[in-house]
Amino acid sequence: MACSLFRPSYISLDYVLQRAGVIFQWDENVTCVSYLSRSVAVDDKQYQYRKISPELWIGMEGIEQQDNVAIATPERAFLDMVYLSAGNCYFDNLRPLSIKQVRTLLPLYRSQKLNERVATLLNVKL
């Protein structure tokens, strides 16, 4: 349902990070990335969409298709979260993330600030 309401969109952010064990605080909302910011309720389910820059839609690296649903990998969801929150976010457990995959996806965002934030959060040199 989440990917059908607004296209293009993919499930990401809190929803993916909770299921990966990166964020422990549970929330029933489905969080998505799309071309707009919106919150929609359908059948007692809340769908939250966050707008991301159109150039980040070029290529779908870090986004998997599962049963006709586009869903971010934990690494892509992590980068989306840091990018959209300008680094004002908290993660309980970064161990489930693949540093190698984060390094592969990071150039898609074309942001030196994001590179610096990610390096600090992961305590690595990028």
Secondary element (H or E) of residue 65: strand 63-66
Tell me the two tokens of residue 14: 């809190």
Q: Residue 110 gets which letter from DSSP?
A: -
The pLDDT value recorded for residue 58 is: 67
- Take residue 36 and report the two structure tokens written for it: 């707009």
Host domain of residue 107: 2-122
Tokens of 81: 């979260």
* Structural domain count of the chain: 1
Nearest alpha carbon to residue 83 among 26, 39, 126, 121: 121
Q: What is the pTM of this model?
A: 0.92
Per-residue confidence (pLDDT) for residue 67, from 0 to 100:
83
Can you give the pLDDT of all 126 residues of the chain as single tens digits? 677 777 888 999 999 999 999 999 888 899 999 999 999 999 888 999 999 988 887 678 999 998 889 999 999 999 999 999 987 899 999 999 999 999 999 999 999 999 999 999 999 987
Question: To which H or E segment does residue 47 belong?
Answer: strand 45-51
